[in-house]
Amino acid sequence: MRNPIGKKVVDIKPSGIRKFFDIVQETEGAISLGVGEPDFDTPWHIRDEGIYSLEKGRTFYTSNSGLKELRQEISNYIKRTQNVEYDPLKEIFVTVGGSEAIDLALRAMVDAGDEVLIPQPSYVSYEPCAILADAVPVTIELKEENQFRLTAEEVLEKVTDKTKILVLPFPNNPTGAVMSKEDLEAIAKVVIEKDLFVISDEIYGELTYNGEHVSIVSIPGMKERTILINGFSKAYAMTGWRLGYACGPEIIMKQMVKIHQFAIMCAPTTSQYAAVEALRNGDDDVKMMREQYNQRRRYLLNEFERIGLTCFEPFGAFYVFPSIKKFGMSSDEFCTRLLKEEKLAVVPGTAFGDCGEGYIRISYAYSLDNLKAAMERLERFISKL
């Protein structure tokens, strides 16, 4: 039999996050601060709307692009948060999580050999999706001395004749970094000058702790060059509902919807009805969860200071990214020993790109009690080093 597997796929490494969690499952008494998933249940009124839609027999495909009323609510949401108008029928469509939107945006926009700029450390899917789309991923190393923000100079350094897309991963997973309006204006200038397009992954846009999130689409000249990606997983604690969306120029959306139509058909119908409710009446729930995350964020930063772990202050998402450089071991070794010796699972920074070496990602999408127990273990581990 000849090899049934394509080489391009074989060469892609599996996610470095999952590897640790397979071990956690088998370790009795282990505490995990590894998964980037809200610990809250989806707010009841949102679940109720999903249940109601089932009771009403709304169990059919929606249009490929998603329910009209959901796209209208997404349009209203972006108008009220970023003061940018998207046509709900032509410029917005509903996807299976932000994940699908990332994949589709890359597949719809690149030709073989086009270069995609990917700032790292960042979410694990950009690079493999770029490779699967036959593009060439080009890494930009984000630096702690810049609070892991992306600078215009760093983009300029990596732009070539082949560069087509810049992925903008803020608020950032794993660092928690956020971009200010001024940072984005400087990036926008380069993007326009070099005729690039942006895929802006704003899945953590609702989770910022030093003021409101600013989207690059609100900078003049950027709406027409940007695919804005967002979803319901993080802000509304709806990971399992698998619902996200993409907004962008009609000419690009049409091609993305075409792939979506053949690969997926439509996002889950029940989830779409629930998402309408989330956008209409979910602001207070988001606020409550944001406050809780912020409390935990502050707790962890104080604890790190107390036990002597250096960490820049992150203002977004639900992750902290402390440095472990002073312990003289690799991130992988640190995490492996921490899990083995103290049964505490966190993720090596290298799971988010090679430049994550020397850091670990700790998620605070866990209860304060869990965090407290985890910090005891971390302190004990560090005191032995």
Ligand X SMILES: Cc1ncc(COP(=O)(O)O)c(C=O)c1O
Task: Select 75 or 173, whichever has its Cβ closest to ligand X.
Answer: 173
To ligand X, the closest distance from the beta carbon of 175 in angstroms equals 11
**Subset of residues 11 to 40 that bind ligand X, contact rule: CB under 6 A:** 36
**Binder of ligand X out of 34, 43, 205, 231 (CB under 6 A):** 231
Distances (CA, A) of 129 to 19, 133, 199, 296, 309: 19, 6, 12, 32, 34
* In contact, 221 and 236? CB cutoff 8 Å: no
- According to the binding rule CB under 6 A, does residue 244 interact with ligand X? yes
Q: How far is the CB of 232 from ligand X (least distance, A)?
A: 7
Residues 6 or more apart in contact with residue 334 via CB below 8 angstroms: 324, 327, 348, 360
CA dihedral 302, 305, 307, 312 (to 10 degrees): 100
Question: Interface with ligand X includes 173 (CB under 6 A)?
Answer: yes
| Least Cβ distance, residue 328 to ligand X (angstroms) | 30
Stretch that binds ligand X, among 139-147, 231-239, 251-259, 349-357 (CB under 6 A): 231-239
Q: Which is closer to ligand X, CB of 244 or CB of 322?
A: 244
Token representation of residue 265 = 């058909």
Selected range binding ligand X among 2-10, 92-100, 210-218, 340-348, rule: CB under 6 A: 92-100
Cβ-proximal residue to ligand X, closest one: 97
Q: Which of 239, 271, 350, 363 binds ligand X (CB under 6 A)?
A: 239
- Show the tokens assigned to 364: 């605070």
Residue of 43, 98, 248, 316 that binds ligand X (CB under 6 A) = 98
Nearest approach in angstroms of CB 234 to ligand X is: 7
Give the total of residues touching ligand X (CB under 6 A): 13
Q: Nearest distance from residue 51's CB to ligand X, in Å? A: 21
Q: How far is the CB of 104 from ligand X (least distance, A)?
A: 12
In the window 270-329, what residues touch ligand X (CB under 6 A)?
Answer: none
Give yes or no for a contact between 121 and 354, defined as CB atoms under 8 angstroms apart. no
Q: Which amino acid is at 59?
A: T
What is the rounded CA–CA span in Å between residue 155 and residue 141? Answer: 10
Among 53, 82, 163, 233, binds ligand X (CB under 6 A): 233
**C-alpha to C-alpha distance for 170 and 122, rounded to whole angstroms:** 9
Residue 82 or 200 having the CB closest to ligand X: 200
Burial class (CB in 10 A: 0-12, 13-18, 19+), 275: buried
- 67 interacts with ligand X by CB under 6 A: no
Which range binds ligand X by CB under 6 A, 38-46, 94-102, 329-337, 346-354? Answer: 94-102
Q: Which is nearer to ligand X, 197 or 232 (CB)?
A: 232
The distance of closest approach from Cβ of residue 306 to ligand X in the complex, given in angstroms and rounded to an integer, is: 28
> In this complex, which beta carbon is closest to ligand X, that of residue 238 or of residue 375?
238
For position 342 contacting ligand X by CB under 6 A, the verdict is no
> Binder to ligand X among 77, 93, 123, 245 (CB under 6 A)?
123
Please identify which residue in 42, 65, 75, 99 interacts with ligand X, judged by CB under 6 A. 99
With CB under 6 A as the contact rule, the residue among 67, 129, 203, 301 that binds ligand X is 203
Which residues sit at the interface with ligand X, rule CB under 6 A?
36, 97-99, 123, 169, 173, 201, 203, 231, 233, 239, 244
